[in-house]
Amino acid sequence: MKPALTLAFASLSTLNAATITAIDYPETPRGEVVDDYFGTKVADPYRWLEDVDSARTRAWVEAQNALALPHLAALPERERLHARLQALWNYERYGLVEKVAGRYFYLRNDGLQNQPVLVVQDDAKAAARVLLDPNRLAADGTVALTQYAVSPDGRWLAYGTAAAGSDWNEFRVRSVADGKDQPEVLRRIKFSSIAWTRDGRGFFYSRYPEPPAGADAGTFDDLADQALYYHRVGTPQTADVRVYAVADEPKWGYLAQVTDDGRYLVISIWRGSADEYRIHVRDLGDPQRPALDGPVLRLVDTFESDYTLIGSVGSRLYFRSNAGAERGRILAADLDAPLPDRWREVVPQQADTLQHALFAGDGIVALYLRDATSRLVRYGLDGEPAGEIALPGLGSVPDLSFGGVQISGAPGDDELFYAFTSFNRPATNYRYDLGKRRGGVHQPLTLKFDPNDYVTEQVFYPSKDGTRIPMFISYRKGLKRDAATPALLYGYGGFNIALTPTFSVPNLVWMEQGGIYAQANLRGGGEYGRAWHEAGTKERKQNVFDDFIAAAEYLVREGWTAPEHLAISGRSNGGLLVGAVLNQRPELFAAALPAVGVMDMLRYHRFTIGWAWAGDYGTADTKEGFAYLSRYSPLHTVRTDVKYPAVLITTADHDDRVVPGHSYKYAATLQAAHQAYRARHCGAVGTDCDAGGPILIRIDVKAGHGAGKPIGKLIDEEADRLAFIRHYTTR
């Protein structure tokens, strides 16, 4: 194995086509593994890279970083871009305000803190005080606050932390009054909610069993047999009460909510990534003395539709649901007469897609998507329209992966808080008085740029089959549309997730430097309801790739850019998107940034939580699944007879969502293909010949899928990514 590169660094600031072809990739030995899928033999020569903790995989990671990091550091604009990212990221910003028992809780970052700090105001006029500073939990900032919930009486904070970007959480309980933790630590927690009982003495959460004897509790990933537990403050985890789990269903998971009056425990049961839930309800009886062992009513007992509790009035529970309405509606079920035909439609399906709803003040506030932009609409509890809350422009109320939809309120309280963002405006908190029907910015931001210097257009273009696809195009005001303009196209297209206008410091820096940023709303997402999502799943996944390719072709056709100036980017499922499209149309792009991607579609379901994605992907365990997955799987569709553009793959050694073996194997395969093409067309290493590439992989250490990554690490990574695409789209 070659631990170092042989790139000639005589002039590191003048990388060009000749030096690109001179890269000598680290040796990646090929194994002899061959799998048989229904009579088709499929080689998997880099299977050994799936063992991410082995000595030779660690040596391979070191060798790849020894190649990639100096190359990235040598890019002409890297240091300037790093400085600009750092400057623009350095502004005070806030998370969503949540009001509990008269106190106001929110996250705050003074600018370049690695992790945001949780603060509390004891009343509306009080100064904020620090309640929890995650930056004190690890010197390098790699321990993050993942979630929190305040007890109904405002006395206790239950909170989760994760180290090095892992999905594994530890829960603790802290006194809001003095900021001191109780002695207990709750472990073996992944994909859990926190739901306090009304008495404020304890909460429901979900956890997995202890690992078998001899297994490492930090890495054991047999994600089966999750159960719902109740923890009482001040007691050890061993004393927690196992509240609920369905027998003989080891892959089902449980999320708990307690109604605002404390009467009912509502259990949402999931079995994968699809928004399809069973709803089981337990009557807790007296909210001040909740009964944990009462009978359970199986209110919804099939996995067919999305049901999300938004509030309750007595025995009537209100749900946002797509049952019988692909774009969503609001339904009410009376637990005294819970038969399906007795459910009442409160707010019928609209032309727009219902994304979120909650009880606030004396009614309901609903968040809709109209062509991927947000609308806030009010209704009475009887479903009568009560007006719209005007938003500042073309943008969105953001939905954060771990923070949820950024809107908060409570029944009987006229204060509503929400965040609003767009491509040129960071998320800003607003306060709205539901009684007086007026509001405004609650926590203004001081920025080091003028948002009015940037413009966003929304366009619609036809995909390969004629489907009308929306896309946002953002750029600096005054930019002349020119085929020589560098452009960055971003997409996702999966898991019913809607891509809405969202602020990003790196994207702003890209636009500031004269680049175009485009974001396409592909099928597979949640922009237009269930049918739109399903059109990009399983055997229909090629629709997503066709939509993305058509977006690139639109940008070229309409004179926004040209293939030699166009870069593409995507993360996770979006990394899969970039890998698949890159393989299908390599000539259409100058550079590609697949991040933490799902690249081995034949084996993805065999690692950590991968099995849960079968609702979107299907699996190669069936003949039909193998047939369509093998046609687009990025790992299996790399070709040696084409010139690939410059590719920077990014992943992290502690990613336990999309394991890094996906990116490792894909990088090794692409590098081998690049070497083969170079040998065929350019001859010896060092020949002055443009063979495309380079193919680099940047592997972060002590990091995971992305959530909770320290600001310092983010800036370093984004400087590398921006410098890479700037260099390879402007040559």
Which pair of structure tokens corresponds to residue 369?
A: 């998507």
Distance CA 318, CA 333 (A): 7
**CB neighbours (10 Å) of residue 392?**
13
User: Is-contact 331 318, C-beta < 8 A?
Assistant: yes
Provide φ and ψ at 238, rounded to 5°.
-65, -20
Residue with tokens 């992943």: 651
**CB neighbours (10 Å) of residue 643?**
14
Distance CA 390, CA 371 (A): 17
Say if residue 348 is preceded by a cis peptide, omega within 30 of 0: no
Residues 6+ apart with CB under 8 A from 156: 150, 173, 174, 175, 176, 196, 200, 233
Which candidate in 474, 569, 572, 663 is catalytic?
Answer: 572
Q: Which residues pair with 43 in a beta bridge?
A: 34
Alpha helices, DSSP H, located in 74-171: 78-89
Which pair of structure tokens corresponds to residue 415?
A: 């204060």
Alpha helices, DSSP H, located in 535-613: 542-557, 573-584
Q: Which residues pair with 103 in a beta bridge?
A: 100
Residue with tokens 């593994």: 33
Residue in 138, 151, 101 with CA at minimum distance from that of residue 122: 101
User: Is-contact 554 471, C-beta < 8 A?
Assistant: yes
Residue in 87, 35, 28 with CA at minimum distance from that of residue 60: 28
Would you list the DSSP string of 698-712?
A: EEESS--SSTT--HH
Which candidate in 356, 442, 654, 705 is catalytic?
Answer: 705
Residues 6+ apart with CB under 8 A from 694: 20, 23, 71, 646, 647, 674
How do the residues of the chain divide into helix, strand and coil, expressed in percent and rounded to 5?
25, 35, 45
Provide φ and ψ at 58, rounded to 5°.
-60, -40
DSSP assigned state of 442: E
DSSP assigned state of 364: E
User: Is-contact 133 143, C-beta < 8 A?
Assistant: no
Which pair of structure tokens corresponds to residue 437?
A: 């029907």
Look at residue 412 and give its three-state secondary structure.
coil
Residue in 441, 260, 257 with CA at minimum distance from that of residue 361: 260
Write the single-letter amino acid at 192: S
Residue with tokens 């405006």: 425
Residue in 700, 721, 699, 723 with CA at minimum distance from that of residue 64: 699
Distance CA 231, CA 207 (A): 11
Whether 572 is a known active-site residue: answer yes
Look at residue 392 and give its three-state secondary structure.
coil
Distance CA 598, CA 571 (A): 9
Catalytic residue numbers, as ranges: 572, 705
